[in-house]
Amino acid sequence: MQCNNKAERLQKIMSAHGVSSRREAEKMINEGRVTVGGVVAEIGQTATLGVDDIAVDGVLLSPKSKPVYIMLNKPCGYVTTLNDNRGRKTVIDLLPGVDERVYPVGRLDINSEGLLLLTNDGEFANAVMHPRFGKSKTYRVRVRGDVKEAVSSLMQPMEVDSHMVRAVSVELLTYDENGGVLTIKLSQGLNRQIRKMCQLCGLYVLSLKRVAIGRLSLGKLPCGKWRYLTDAEVDALMI
């Protein structure tokens, strides 16, 4: 591990380490949960990780290791978490050879598959997940039901879990009398949002695969495999 010997605001240090967003970090500092050199920190305070002892809830932050950015083609049957108290397989089990501690950026439910990002960079995770950065997510969805009739309904605003949602775009790829395949692009990311939207339109989701985040495409990465993102891909997602 290396230290950059540069004084930075505590909020930035905490966000970069995946402790919290910068806004949440400010709240934690205000609540007295952050200390520097054993003294309760204040908003606006700077520190140097590796020189100053910075602790959150009594746990010291270590100098940050090299940033890691991973693309995984998540299969069904794996939960998107670091560990699971029910003993289910997690996406971390799919990362042999990755020595650094990384965590998922967002979620895909256990029955969904496709593009999942993992990192140890809090600022990168925030840039991908936070709605204000406008990173759309694109999904290929196989459904049962009158899909041709439902397409126009899927494009309309609707209420899901007390939130008004609307797809960025919906494209019907194939269909027959039993159902079809859709491409749905979202700018939001509510829990099981596509499944709930389809249900409201009379469709049942048979399979769901995320194929893109912003301009980053899953491409031909095999199911269950992973690779590091290129510098260009990381830069594009940070914009």
Per-residue b/e over 173-194, b at no fewer than 16 CB within 10 Å? eebeeebbbbebebeeeeebbb
What the block records as the tokens of 206 is: 């048979």
For this structure, is 231 an active site residue? no
Q: Are 209 and 74 in contact (CB under 8 A)?
A: no
**Residue showing tokens 């990381």:** 234
- Report the Cα 123 to chain-centroid distance in Å: 12
Three state DSSP letters for 3-47: CCCCCEEHHHHHHHCCCCCHHHHHHHHHCCCEEECCEECCCCCEE
Which position among 109, 121, 161, 235 bears the catalytic label? 109
Catalytic amino acids? 109
